[in-house]
Amino acid sequence: MSNNLNFVAKLRNSGLRPTKQRIKICEILFGSKETFHFSINDLSKIIAQKNSEKISLATIYNTVHAFLGKGYLKQIAVNSEQSYYDTNTTDHHHFYDIDKDKLIDIHDSEVEPVKINRKIPGKRIKSIEVLVKLQNT
């Protein structure tokens, strides 16, 4: 796959050695135009299914943390049971389908800009995130 050269470059540029584990995880996370949301458990299952040689859980955690640190992933707070990650690192919002335990992107353009009429001294806004919880009708 010629794509992998991009991942190698991406990793090198980030100061991360392009190991075969990281490259495989890059393929899974960034190999498609579509972004998606996942838990470590989700990713672990995808790897197990798409990869002949296994990648240890520790490496999956390490890699996700590394990518998070480099800004290649975003962490989404949905509930306190587990961490969710997003390959879409642009500013956007989410539906959370409670019944399916699934996140759905809401593009910034689909939400009227959120205006906060209040400021906290000594603090600056790092992010504004809207979470819309959905239930079956």
Residues forming contacts to Zn ion in the complex (CB under 5 A) are: 86, 88, 105
Told to check if 67 binds a copy of itself by CB under 8 A, we report no
At closest approach, how far in Å is the CB of 22 from DNA?
5
Let me know the angle formed at the C-alpha of 99 by 95 and 103, rounded to the nearest 5 degrees: 30
Q: Are 87 and 76 in contact (CB under 8 A)?
A: no
Distance CA 75, CA 118 (A): 25
Helix (H/G/I), strand (E/B), else coil: 7: helix
Least distance in angstroms from the C-beta of 23 to DNA: 8
H/E stretch holding 50: helix 40-50
115 binds, among Zn ion, Mn ion, DNA, none (CB under 5 to 8 A by kind): none
Stretch that binds a copy of itself, among 5-13, 49-57, 64-72, 80-88 (CB under 8 A): 80-88
Question: Binds 63, which of a copy of itself, DNA, Mn ion, none (CB < 5 to 8 A, cut-off by type)?
Answer: DNA
